[in-house]
Structure 1
Amino acid sequence: MMVQNTSPAMNAPPTVLPAWVAIALAATGDVVYELDLNQGTITWHGEIEKLFGPGMTTVTQMKPRRFYQMIHSNDLSLRINAIESHMSSRTAYDCEYRIRRHDGLFVWVHDRGMAECDAAGQPTVLRGVIRSIHQRKQTEAQLTHRASFDELTGHFNRQRLRDRLQDSLKQAQRYGHFGAFLVIGLDKLSLINEAYGHDAADTVIVRLGQLLEAQTRVSDSIGRIGGDLYGVVLPRCSPDKMGVVADKILRACRDAAVETNAGRLQVSVSIGGVTFPGMSQSAFDIMTKAESALHQAKGRGRDCFIEYHQSDEQMEAHRSHMEIGHSVVEAIKEGRAMFAYQPVVDSQTAKPMFYEALLRLRSPSGELIPAGKFIPAVEHVGLARLVDRHVLEMAVEDLMANPELSIAMNISGLTVAEHSWLRALIGKLQDKPDVARRLIVEITETEALRDIDESARFVQAVRDLGCKVALDDFGAGYTSFKHLKALEVDIVKIDGGYVRGIHENRDNRVFVHSLIELARTFGLQIIAECIEEEAEANHFREEGVQFMQGYFFGKPEVGVPKI
């Protein structure tokens, strides 16, 4: 609201601030201003030199025109619009913009204020506070950069390159032209690391990125997708041209010795490539095929290029996946997707503590189909996002309808890298803390380790909502201390392959014990899944594991459990 001034003095002198206000301003670095709309002057209070830069110490007043000239030209309209909106809505104006300091540098500021009106309701004075937020803006810019770019090389990271690849795939499908994707792997980088140290290895990685820039077009996209791996998206590139680009990269690497702090090093690379669209339905599918071709290139002696080709068996599998994908979409449309709930019990009391919601489809004939029968096909044909979005909707609906229910839901490894699913989760739960605290999101260990930085950001965002995150199949991907520290999950679920028959397998007992000790180091809750025999349950009780799950305690049952 605007403040009304009923004083008869129309042109009162600028306010003299009390001493304690001046002290407070000095401590915070804020600057208070008064814009006299009748006199056309701005009076400043506070240590304006900190805000406007050296040389502004003696300035206490200035014309509005001069101040507007200090505002960045791209931001001036933001402030004008904020004040105009304030005049009409009578709520305080609040905006952020850049100003040019006296030394020529631009800094970000936050400006918030309110107009004072006379008895007739006409604004006479604008009073506000300007605070420097430059450090926050720099931090935000750094975080934004890190979310998209590799810190060592400055190239795209895996997620950002995957986004570019997905865009190129859509363009190729829409306009009927080819694109290509290359995965370039440094040969035996680990030997360089061991013999010459991390600095030399990092120098080689950076140099490879520079060589790739020199051998590709401006329209191509380069990203570091792993420790020793680069990916290159080649829009509008035929299979023949893909081979030409790969050969250029191979020759450039053979001809270029890399200068490091350990001396000149000769390196080589292996390359796998695939053209699209073909039968590829997603960027993940394309990257998987290119990495498969890269492994073939390394197996053939390295320093070569292999193009991915589908065998007759792979083509038949693709057709089968497409048919399954179609049936899944139909099942969702027709309301034949549902949860089967399996209890996760307290190890000591066997009382259900929460339930895992396992996706099932009911076929037109009435048969109940488990997720393992269709999820691989769903991921292959690029439908994981659709299915996981529907699973999220089902889970939230059941939680809201059953206030005593707590559930764990699984999502595809592909969804961890999909920002749209995370936005949907935030949209559904950001104002429902009671629902969020009863939801556990499960991600598999192998997929989490595929891109640890992206997974860590996903986990943090989910936990910020109040949900918990569980690392499924713990032990399958050989998670290290470093990985667990980076991921910051709440729960780990020991991989069922190590649980079955553990009382009869000494090697598994030793390995699982080390996993349990690792999890305890971080104060994580532990679930032993796939418990089918009493001897297995007794073993994990003795280990002090908090929760257990498996057919020994209850099979998955369709329908919300009665609590």
Structure 2
Amino acid sequence: MSMYRQLWLAIIVSTLLALCGSMLASMLSARSYLQSQLSIKNADNATALALSLSQSNPDPVMVELVVSSMFDRGHYERISVTDPAGAVMVTRVATEVDLNAPRWFVRALPIHADPGLAQISNGWKQFGTVTLVSHSRFAYAALWKSAQQVALALILAGLVGGYLGSLVLRRLRKPLDAVIGQANAITNRRFVTIEEPEVPELKQLASAMNATVKRLKSMFEEEAARLDKVRQDANCDPLTGLANRSYFLARLREASIAQDSAGESVIIARLANLAVVNQTLGRAATDELLCRFGSALEEVAALHPEALAARLNGADFALLLPGTSRFELTKVAKNLLSALTSATGAFVPDKATTWLGGGYFPPGMEVDNILAQVDTALAAAELEARDGLHFCGGYDNEALPKSAKDWATIIQRALSEKWVRLVSFPVMTLEGGLIHRECPLRLMFDAHGEWHPAGYFLPVAERLKLTPQLDLAAVELGLTELENKPNLTGLAINLSASSIQLPEFRAKLRKALLSRPGTSRLWLEVSEAGALVHFEAFRALCLELRDLKCQIGLEHFGRQFSEFGRFHDLGLDYLKVDASFIRGIHANAGNQAFLRGLSAIAHSIGLTVIAEGAASADDLRALSAVGFDGATGPVVTDVALA
């Protein structure tokens, strides 16, 4: 039984005991008073009757007449007169009458008054003895009425007391619920603080728990900061802070071969005349120039989701733009050229400072081929001997729609005609067991066409605000799959960040989950970047779906690890670490140290840690050594198919 119910029970029992005790004491007191008053009345009336008879030379006939006359008034239960020898001269006894009170009440509180006795004399001689008992019905009526009044008063007092008790308990319950909620939040891996209540005992408890949470958060943030430093050392250029060459190549490789890739645009920017600057202005000025060049590149990258700015070597920098078409690439490249020349022009007046080479590449192209083509374009820009850019031969899929209107029509038709399906990729434990199946969405653009991955239509759907409909369709397909396969351990659906920011989408999602079974086996995930951009909406999603027992996690995690502390109070269930940290992990000691720490800190708050994009058995062995729980990727799919 809860403490709140125990307090209520204690209040109710104590109130009932107080009411019953007060009622009993009041009734016993009233009965005692009525008995004494009735005894006095019996004595007075007997004395008055005896005196009246003594003054009128009594004889048996007169005594009988007087007694009968007095008895007939109906106030007496019994009147009798006996002679000095004890013989009854006259007696009158009332028949059973209504006592003006319930029989149970009369039996519970009987009134026994002493009879009145008085001597009748005739001159100096004793004539007889009068015994008189007044009727108790009037006393019972008065006692019953008093009982009703006392009961009513006590009930009103009890109601008032109960109301006041409820106010007190409500005042206690609010801070108590807050403390309980905080404890539950901690068990659900949400580290929250609460306002300290005014109740001294609860204030001490809340203060202690808040202090514990703050210490945990502090330790969490310190460890996260340390790991972020490890990540930067392993994957970032020490001078500019941009991604280094190895991390850039890992991201480029992942963007190229990802199942839902829509292709990517790549720009390589070369800082011209760097040797002249170094000889003329010295190393400090050269470092400042490189930092400004890198900052300008990073500012442009920040304008595009999932973009990555990197320094490849001394003078070469790169910008990766996943999902950016070749038409958008032209605009980005021109803006980048303007930003870079503005940042570096003061260092090398009247000379070229920036050369750009870029291109758009379809999914599946080899990284070496991409870099070779961009290098060729960069060489062409460099030959012009002035600031400029050059693009390599572009790629365009003529089969895809060109206008936003055409895209909207195709996507809406695919949804209405049910030309949507899920494809499945296994996510396995490192021991070979199935954790769940990852199920991205596929769309067919016509009744007999091919199934297109999300990379083809999702960027356009984002701009057209159609992702909520696509996400809800994917969830419905996933729930149907779980119903049809009760032995399936789990199924993961990716939600777009632009969808979760809409309250109406979250309401529809919750309604869909409430109406279908299998939610405990449904895994819902949002990209780390999207969750951070729409953080409050993601928090709301986690809280709104918590009672449905579905698993909620982040995918492509680790790119912005410095923000990990923001997720500490959301009660997440799992993390899928970005493939750029995973591929080749067996040969990257820096990333091994980073992932080992990431795994430890995630496990300390109860999160499952899964690797994305594992490509070899060596990677799997390295992941096991750093403490990961599971993995997905080409090698996992091959093992599952085998």
TM-score range, shorter chain: 0.3 to 0.5
Q: State the TM-score, normalizing by the size of structure 2.
A: 0.39
Relative contact order (C-alpha < 8 Å, sep 6+): which is higher? 2
Q: State the TM-score, normalizing by the size of structure 1.
A: 0.44
Structure number with higher strand proportion = 1
